[in-house]
Amino acid sequence: MHLSWPGGPLRGTAQLPASKSEANRALILQALAGGGTVSNLSDAHDTQLMRRLLAAAPSTAVLDAEDAGTVMRFLTAYLAITGWRGQLTGTARMQERPIAVLVSALRQAGARITYLKKEGFPPLEFAGLIAADTGGPGETEMRGDISSQYISALLMLSPYQPGGLRLRLTGPVGSRPYIDMTLALMRRFGADWMVEGDTIRVGPTPYQPTDYTVEADWSAASYWYSLVALAPAGSEITLPGLREQSLQGDQAIGSLMAHFGVQTTFLPDGIHLRQVPLPADNEQLFFDFTNCPDLAQTVAVVAATLAIPVEMTGLESLRIKETDRIAALQTELAKFGGNLREVGAGRFRVESTGFTVDKQMVDTYHDHRMAMAFAPLALRGPLTIAAPLVVKKSYPRFWKELAQAGFTTREAE
């Protein structure tokens, strides 16, 4: 996809997809509850894939989660607790993403799951449930610094374990907003739980059929923050469908982007973004992405473009996403004069010298967030995005929204 900007301020209204984080949790809870309506589902691939696989599970012996991490992990828990028999697989990259922590916990709960290839990784074979021999709550420990998707998957099925679940999280807890989102949605569907320090106790109260409307996606909004930050002076954009009281941790993009000259104003239904002068105290910024790792690529690109040094921590989970996002960022930023270098254990620094956009090709690594994080650079010069269709995973209309906002978009022959 060749991208360029004709000049002048960026203005208008952009439509966001619904949150796939909320939607995929709500779809699992709806299936466990046996009823209710989940509305405002987007056409994002991950959401539609989850919907299709849940509908197909009762009569299908092989399910393919493709490259969707939440689908693989949430379905693993759902299929285990429902006693499903069959195989759950995914793409070659998915078969490199670990799942042993979740499978181990599910086996403790009575699930019969075996690895079909490499120990600790998909594909998986399910052979039903072993009857539990206790009426008390199940007890398990899980490291808090692993993917929050493991923790969320285990929590969502816990009301259907005999006696519920007592889950103790050990060590630092990463991506806590995603765990909080899971718990909040569980309560919406009727679950009974309480948090005591590092322990989450979930009672054996089944979910009730519930209607739920999914909020627009703050992760997708992050790219419009980036666009406003890099656009000419006077730029502004309106994003409908976002809530000030959000369940999504990526709402943190508002406070992060304030450092790059983007002001957020909440509206009755959405937000308004406006470019303002850069703060005077931007000589050195320190951001921890432990609770919002999906924002790291967006912030790194903006910081490099504006030549604002930023030190970043909390990037550990980026190594096991759709690609190794740290390595991908390092490679692609270097094409423009940017640099992401490790300056200590778990600490990275974004810098740039002579950052220039002039017809470079951005490789996307089968990663939707790489494509969308780098697309705003077209405001500074023409560029080409390789494999633009990767955005279908979370924001299928992204290129159409850019075109409606005034970008020149042309598919490469």
Residues marked as catalytic: 294
**Surface-to-core class of residue 136, CB atoms within 10 Å of its CB (0-12 exposed, 13-18 middle, 19+ buried):** exposed
Render 190-223 in DSSP notation, one character per residue. Answer: T--EEEETTEEEE-S-------EEPPBPHHHHHH
Tell whether 222 is in a known binding site. Answer: no
Give the whole-angstrom CA distance, residue 210 versus residue 362: 43
Tell whether 117 is in a known binding site. Answer: no
Nearest to 18 by CA among 40, 49, 37: 40
Tell whether 152 is in a known binding site. Answer: no
Looking at residue 13, what DSSP letter applies?
A: B
Tell whether 294 is in a known binding site. Answer: yes
Tell whether 392 is in a known binding site. Answer: no
Give the whole-angstrom CA distance, residue 76 versus residue 149: 11
Tell whether 226 is in a known binding site. Answer: no
Q: What is the largest CA-CA distance in the chain?
A: 69
Give the whole-angstrom CA distance, residue 25 versus residue 47: 10
Give the whole-angstrom CA distance, residue 168 versus residue 165: 10
Tell whether 147 is in a known binding site. Answer: yes
The strand pairing partners of 39, in sequence order, are 213
Beta-carbon contacts of 41 under 8 Å, excluding residues fewer than 6 positions away, are: 18, 23, 27, 47, 48, 51, 214
CB-CB neighbours of 46 under 10 Å: 23
Give the whole-angstrom CA distance, residue 29 versus residue 181: 13
Give the whole-angstrom CA distance, residue 3 versus residue 399: 9
Tell whether 21 is in a known binding site. Answer: yes
Tell whether 400 is in a known binding site. Answer: no
Tell whether 135 is in a known binding site. Answer: no
Tell whether 369 is in a known binding site. Answer: yes
Helix ranges (H only) for 65-216 are: 69-81, 100-108, 148-157, 176-188
Tell whether 393 is in a known binding site. Answer: yes
Tell whether 148 is in a known binding site. Answer: yes
Tell whether 30 is in a known binding site. Answer: no
The strand pairing partners of 212, in sequence order, are 38
Nearest to 196 by CA among 169, 172, 171: 169
Do 368 and 394 meet the contact criterion of CB atoms below 8 Å apart? yes
Binding-site sequence positions for 3-phosphoshikimate: 20-21, 25, 147-149, 175, 294, 321
Binding-site sequence positions for phosphoenolpyruvate: 20, 69, 97, 149, 325, 369, 393
